[in-house]
Structures are given as structure tokens and as C-alpha cells.
Amino acid sequence: MSRSLIVLVFLGFFPWPAAAEVRVAVAANFAAPMKALATRFQEETGHRLALSFGASGQLFAQILHGAPFQVFLSADEDKPRRLETRGLTVPGSRFTYAVGRLVLWSPRVGDDPRARLAAGTFRRLALANPKLAPYGAAARDWLQDTGLWARLQGRLAVGKSVMQAFQYVRAGQADLALVAVSLVRDAGGVAWPIPADRHRPLRQDAVLLARGADDVAARALLRYLRSPAARSLIAEFGYALP
């Protein structure tokens, strides 16, 4: 290396890309895998993630009202697509990062949650708000398909997100819950999988928002979510891969 090039390097004319922080809106069902992914992403890239979790409908509304997110990981395809039509995303950046699975869960070991639901031997059934959360809408689909939706109206504990529905059971406010399999992965009890053809698809889309269009770290995160390492971790939490 010449003496002049050495001087240029030390003067900062060839700086390494600086680490940055990415503001990410994440559907509540994906909280646990996203925290694990964030740790690995930071270790590999140096970039940090500022994560905000909530029902997809709540996050969608916040983005419409100017919340400073750069990346949106929804629990469905619809909301990222609607943001596209409003010109609030980077064209061509949307993709499916996971396919969710809905389960009927009881915290009791050895329980048969399906039999309890059919027999009515429970106090309350928790689910996410169908108007805000895709998992709540899927839960309603299945309950309507089985003929239970109308019968159970007085026994539903409706949370703002699928995470809150899960917490209702953990807190003893409900006996059963219709939630994402990722939430009950390490919670014990019994989870009965709801057949995927009995509710709307839970294809979960990620998209680069217009605020992150020129952000190197935001683009790096979306690339990372499609990497073999990230996909493997997502599958470990019970998601199907697109």
C-alpha cells in the first residue's frame, strides 16, 4: 500500500458503513422469533433493531398516521398490500416471510382442548380481536365454520392482539385460547392445530416502508429475513415457510 493511500484511509476517506438502528413494526404473533432474529442480525451486521409489537391492524393504522417505522412485518398479506396501493412502501419490496399456524391451546397438561370446547366445559375462550388481528379473524373463521361462533358470544375473552389473548389464559382469565403456535411453543399444556383449510390463509408479509427506502440497515434486515439462517430459525418456532 502506498504512503498516500495509507494517509487517505486514516483520514477517513474510505470509511466502513456505520451501524444504524432500524425501526420495525412487528405483528404480535412473531414477537419471540423476531427477538431471536434481532439478536443474530445485530451480531452479524452491527445494526440494531427498535421493535414495536402489536396487532397488525393497530400497526397499520399507526403507519397511516405517520409512525416512523421503516419496516413492517404483518400477520397477513392484506395490510402490506394496502400500504402499497397508498404509495407508502418501496415498490417490489413485499414478500412472505412466514406462514402462520393457528392452534387451540389449553395450559393444562394432558388436556383435550378440542373436546372441552365442544362440550362447553370451560369458562372463557380467548382470541384476538378479528377486526385488528389476522389470527383473530382466522379464529372467527374456524368458529363460524364449526357453528360455535354464535353460541360462544358470551364466553369470549377478546384481546387487542394474539399476544394479549395468550396472556389472558396465562393470567387465569380464560381457560382456552385460539392463538399462534409460536406463542405456546414453550408454554406447556396442549395445543391442537386448527386445519389450515378451515380458515383464511395466514401468509405473513414483510415490506420496506417508504421511510426506509434509502436506509441501508433496513434493506439489510429484509435480505436477512430471506436468508437460510433466518428461515431455519423461523421454522423452529412452528411457522411454515413460503
3-state secondary structure the chain: CCHHHHHHHHCCCCCCCCCCEEEEEEEHHHHHHHHHHHHHHHHHHCCEEEEEEECHHHHHHHHHCCCCCCEEECCCCHHHHHHHHCCCECCCCCEEEEECCEEEEECCCCCCHHHHHHHCCCCCEEEECCCCCHHHHHHHHHHHHCCCCCCCHHHEEEECCHHHHHHHHHCCCCCEEEEEHHHHCCCCCEEEECCHHHCCCCEEEEEEEHHHCCCHHHHHHHHHHCCHHHHHHHHHCCCECC
Give the model's pLDDT for residue 17: 53
Give the model's pLDDT for residue 19: 77
Domain positions in the chain: 3-99+202-236, 102-198
CATH code that applies to domain 3-99+202-236: 3.40.190.10
Give the model's pLDDT for residue 18: 65
User: What are the tens digits of pLDDT across the range 203-217?
Assistant: 999 999 999 999 999
89 touches 210 (CB < 8 A): yes
144 Rama class: left (phi>0) / alpha (psi -120 to 50) / beta: alpha
Establish whether domains 3-99+202-236 and 102-198 are of one fold. yes
Q: Which residues of the chain have pLDDT under 70?
A: 1-18
Give the model's pLDDT for residue 206: 98
Give the model's pLDDT for residue 96: 98
241 touches 99 (CB < 8 A): yes
User: What are the tens digits of pLDDT across the range 192-205?
Assistant: 999 999 999 999 99
102-198 has CATH 3.40.190.10 classification: yes
Give the model's pLDDT for residue 46: 96
Separation of alpha carbons 54 and 111, rounded Å:
29
Torsion angle, alpha carbons of 214, 27, 53, 50, to 10 = -20
